[in-house]
Each structure stands twice: as structure tokens, then as C-alpha cells.
Amino acid sequence: MTTSDPPFPPLKPRDPTSVGRYRTVGRLGAGGMGVVYAGRAPSGSLVAIKLVHGDLATDPEFRARFRREADLVGRVVGPCVPRFLDRDTEADLPWLATEYVSGPTLHQHVREHGPLSGDSLHAFALGVAEALRAIHAAGIVHRDLKPGNVILAPDGPKVLDFGIARAVDETAITRTGGLFGTPGWVAPELLRGAPPSPAADVFAWGGLVAFAATGRAPFGKGSAETMAVRVLDGKPDLEGVPQHLAPLVRAATGQDPNRRPTVEQALAELLGTDQATVVGAGPEATELVTRVLRAGWEAPPPPTVFTGDPLPRTEPKRGRPWLLTGAAIGALALVAAGAWAAGDRLSKDPVEDPGGGAAAAGTEEGRNEEATDPEATGSDERVLVEVAGNGLFMVHADTSGALDVTPGFAGVGLGLPQGVARDEYVVASVRVNTVSADSATQTGVRVFGEVEYLADEGEFTLRAGDLTLLEVGQGLDPLPDDPTADGRGAHTADPGRVLATVSPDSPDSEFEVDFPDAPQSGLLAYLPAADALGGEARVGGVYTCYMNWHPYPPVDMTDEEFVPCPAERPQ
């Protein structure tokens, strides 16, 4: 057996070199729960290791839920789910390990090669249904079935991220009343407040098969609010779904959960057998599924791997229409924010504040208008950021002036002008999370996340200097119109450090940056550099509240209202 490692995105300097008995060899992803590493077992086989963030590891309630969910995941067995291998739920940082599954996600494959068809599409629908049968049989509801959570492996589709998401979800719901899932894939009854159920997973399964068949999300793309309205309207776009699958997909995406087919009914129809054959996870049903997969599944090409090194900057084409060409990352809840100007670019001479960060100047004399004034730059390009969901920033740009960007703050409100469609000028999405920079001492703040490029040409750069952490506390407005105008402490990082550069050729990238002196609660402000898109532009940014004791920071801000940030953890 060879032990040469595939080209995984590299480990970060502070990543562990081992977890339990496994040697880490690369990063597979990161999110609100923790980091997923590629590892090597002592035998040489590849594994996937999910390591919990330190913030969550200190929460006894989360540990208990993680322990219970790990027990459930260990009981899920089937040809279309990764095999459970190992765990340590009592470690300082709890973890679990499953077999490593190679291949692109459905999202990656459709983006790079187009939709599935023929026998492969039928095998995909069957395999995902079989995975849900195994997951439901173990007492788990997946709750976040979507194109990014299905791997197209050489031997068939594999459904990822079941069970562990439930642990995070239940903690969040207990504390905040939040909704877990990705807009466009969340069943309508969940949007109306019903508890998760197997029928909600069937709804997502129907949308997933439609996406695999057409390359289009069944409820389109747009803001969280827009997606929710479309789901509640109950009119999925199923044009292009093959005739033999269309009735089943249409029934699965129906509004009434009681009238959707069960997973067993879907499996029976796809296998051309009776429902009794697939009930109870018997070996006969597994053999039938394996036989169909072996006969109809065609191994997809491997995914394009971006190792994390920024691309060389090139001069983008000018006069481009910034049109949405990819599916925007989903948000958990619609929130709103205004435009802001903060950090080093606001002051020609930053001064140190007692809190250890540069105090942000809020006067007109302190603002660097040269970076954002089109008369100074000779450019009419406008770049505007809005908060589209929990920890999700959407970057919009245009040259027509429709966005009507005012450099600096426009107050707390919707980022886009009235009448401007949210997906009309979208360029990129930036999803952020925060944890303690030092999990052992619970000090400092690490901001990390993912950037996705959504336009059809050009490129977008995220720099460390685009992010500023602003302090909150006594005497400071908890929801200021301009958080830079009252002398509050501002914590910044190296402004020139490139965190990620994305383009149509390499549209996805992860990033992280530490703010060692920042408090565990504050305002996370994001203002792109004037040249983030390659040329000078007027820019407007946003801020959100982050609280590192919250189960899913940055804080979910619902109903277009900000949640004030406390200076200390509430008792």
C-alpha cells in the first residue's frame, strides 16, 4: 500500500501534527463545529478526522451531545456513507475519525463538468436515498443535505456530515431558537417552525436529485429571504429532470411532509421492487443497491484541488457585467447591515489606544477619501458588502452606479439600495467564523472561513487589513451607526497580508487570521480594500456581532435587527 498523500490543502502553522493515533497530512475543511483533517492511520490508510473547536470543547452541554451523536454515527452502516473508525469524546479537543472518501462533491462536479445523466443520475438518486435510509435507521436526521455534502466517490455517492451537525444544531436551538440548514434546501415546515424529521431530509433529497440532473438549484439562488419565500411558495424548478424521475422528485419536494414519499418508498421505486424488500436494512436491500451502483455508476473525474497559495494577481478585464454565475453560499437567517469605513484606512496617522489596538478615527479629517472617492481614483466602480446571513458577507460590484455606494457608513440598514436585486451584481461571498486564538487560555480571536468567487471573470482578493475587530462595553453604543466614530478600541492585522485570492479558475479558498489582543466579544467589521477587484473603487462595508461563547459565531441576527454585543459573557 502506498503512503504518498494526495494534494490536500496544507496544514496551517498551528494545526496539530497528530490527533489520537492518526498523523495529520492536510486540511479538508473548517466550519462552526471544528476542523476536518486528512490523516494517516498506523496501517497507512487515509482517514478523515473531525476535531472540535476549543470553544465548544469547554461546553459540557456540547460535549454531552457530541458524545451521544458519536454513538449514533458509529451505528450508521451502509454502502453510501463513510465507515466510522474511531473517536475520543473525552479528549481536551473531542474528535472522531471516519474513512477518507476521495472524489469531488456534487457541487464541484456540476460546476466543473455539468450535471449527471443516464445511469449515473439514477445511481446517484438511489445511493443518496440508501444513505438516508441508513442514517434514519440509526435515529439521526441529517438536516443539512445539499450538493456540498455529497461526495461522488469512485464506487458511488457518499453522504457526509450526518449526526455531528445535529449536535451543533441542538445546542444552538436550545440557546438561541435558531434554525439550522441552508436556504433552498430546508423544508418548508422547518421554516414554519416544525421540528426536523425524516420527511425534511426527503425534501432535500428531491432538490438534490433535481440539482444533479439539471445543474440548477430547484429554488434558484439569491438571499436567504428570497430563497425562503420561494420554498414556502412551493414551486421548485424541475424542468430538465428526466421523465422517469420527475414524479418522484416532484412528490419529494412537495409542501406537505405527510404526502412526501418515505425513503423506503423512494428506494423501492428506484430499485423496481416492493417496499417490504427495503424496510429494516436487510442484506437483500443492500445487495440490490450495491448491484445497481456497480452496474450504473461511472467514477467522476477528480476535483480541482487548491492548495491555499494565492494566485498571482493579474489585471482583470474592465467593463465587465458582474453577473451571478455560481450558487451563493447559503445563509442561516437574513440580517441587515449598513456600510462602514474602519481600521487603518480611516486614519492617515493611527494612534494606539489603551486596549492595544489602533483607535479608529471617525472624523471627516481622519478618513482616507483617496481610497474611495471616484474623483480621486478616476474610477466609477462601486463595491458594496452586505450581511446576507449568519456569518455570511456578500460582495457586490458594478460600474453603472446602481449600487449608489457612499464611502464610509450609510447607517444600519440594508446594504443594497431599494429595487436592486441581491443577485444582480454579486461577485463573491465571504463566510466567517470566530474562535479563541489561544483555546487553552481563551484569549485573542481567530477569524477564519471560506471565500467563493461567483462572477465569470476577474478576481477578488481578501486581505487581513480588510477585517477589524472593534470593542464594545460601557459608554459605547451597542449598535452604532458608525462604530469608528466614538474612539472605541480597534484591533487590526497586517493590512497587506493576502488571505485569499479567488477567480473563476480557482473559485474557492479558506483563510484564517489572528487578533491576539481582541476581546472575546465585539464587532467584526469588514471593508474590502479599494483594489480588492484589481482596480480602484468606492467601497462600503458592514459589521456584525461576534461572541466566542455563542455556539455559532458570528451571532445570528434575525428579522433585519442587530443583536447587541455584550462586553462579557452573560451569566
Residue 87 lies in a domain: yes
Domain of 35? Answer: 1-100
Residue 31 lies in a domain: yes
Q: SS3 sequence, 141-158?
A: CCCCCCHHHEEEECCEEE
**Residues 298, 392 share a domain:** no
* Residue of 427, 419, 372, 368 whose CA lies nearest to 396: 427
Distances (CA, A) of 410 to 340, 345, 390, 417: 7, 17, 21, 11
**Residues 116, 229 share a domain:** yes
Please give the grid coordinates belonging to residue 522. Answer: 465585539
160 in Cβ contact with 82 (< 8 Å): yes
**Residues 292, 261 share a domain:** yes
**Residues 537, 434 share a domain:** yes
Q: Which helix (H) or strand (E) holds 546?
A: strand 542-547
User: Which DSSP string corresponds to 216-254?
Assistant: S-TT--S-HHHHHHHHHHT----TTS-TTTHHHHHHHT-
User: Which DSSP string corresponds to 40-105?
Assistant: E-TTS-EEEEEEE-HHHHT-HHHHHHHHHHHHHHTT---TTSPPEEEEETTSSS-EEEEE---S-B
Q: What is the pLDDT of residue 346?
A: 23
Before 554, cis peptide (omega within 30)?
yes
Q: What is the pLDDT of residue 174?
A: 39
Helix 283-296 to helix 263-271 angle, to the nearest 10 degrees? 50
Amino acid at 215: G
- Where the chain has pLDDT below 50, the residues are 1-3, 168-169, 171-178, 305-378, 413-414, 558-560
Residue 314 lies in a domain: no
Residue 8 lies in a domain: yes
Helix 106-113 to helix 198-214 angle, to the nearest 10 degrees? 20
Amino acid at 563: V
191 in Cβ contact with 226 (< 8 Å): no
User: From the CB of residue 13, how many other CB atoms can be counted at a distance below 10 Å?
Assistant: 6
E-strand ranges in 360-494 read: 382-389, 392-398, 426-438, 443-453, 460-463, 467-470, 490-491
* Residue of 92, 63, 30 whose CA lies nearest to 439: 92
* Residue of 52, 49, 53 whose CA lies nearest to 41: 49
Buried b (16+ CB within 10 A) or exposed e, 203-238: bbbbbbbbbbbbbbbbbebbbbbbbbebbeeeebeb
**CATH value at residue 90:** 3.30.200.20
Q: How many domains, in total, are found in the chain? A: 3
E-strand ranges in 392-425 read: 392-398
**Residues 375, 247 share a domain:** no
* Residue of 464, 451, 476, 479 whose CA lies nearest to 555: 479
3-state secondary structure of 538: strand
**Residues 423, 390 share a domain:** yes
Cα angle: 26, vertex 31, 36; to 5 degrees = 30
Backbone angles phi, psi at 115, to 5 degrees: -70, 170
**Residues 164, 136 share a domain:** yes
Q: What is the pLDDT of residue 224?
A: 63
Q: How, if at all, do strands 382-389 and 538-540 pair?
A: parallel
**Residues 373, 276 share a domain:** no
489 in Cβ contact with 357 (< 8 Å): yes
Round to whole Å and give the CA distance between 201 and 183: 14
**Residues 513, 426 share a domain:** yes
Round to whole Å and give the CA distance between 299 and 103: 9
Q: What is the pLDDT of residue 276?
A: 59
**Residues 403, 258 share a domain:** no
Residue 319 lies in a domain: no
**Residues 207, 138 share a domain:** yes
3-state secondary structure of 547: strand
Q: Which of 100, 120, 150 is the last residue of a domain?
A: 100
Q: What is the pLDDT of residue 336?
A: 22
Residue 562 lies in a domain: no
E-strand ranges in 274-391 read: 351-352, 358-359, 382-389
Q: Which of 65, 100, 135 is the last residue of a domain?
A: 100
Residue 239 lies in a domain: yes
Nearby residues of 147 by Cβ (< 8 Å), 6 or more positions away: 105, 106, 107, 110, 208, 211, 212, 327
Which one is catalytic: 71, 86, 144, 398?
Answer: 144
Amino acid at 29: G
Residue 555 lies in a domain: no
**Residues 138, 52 share a domain:** no
* Residue of 222, 480, 196 whose CA lies nearest to 328: 222
Residue bearing cell 451571532? 555
Respond yes or no: is residue 466 known to be catalytic.
no
Q: Which of 305, 322, 356 is the last residue of a domain?
A: 305
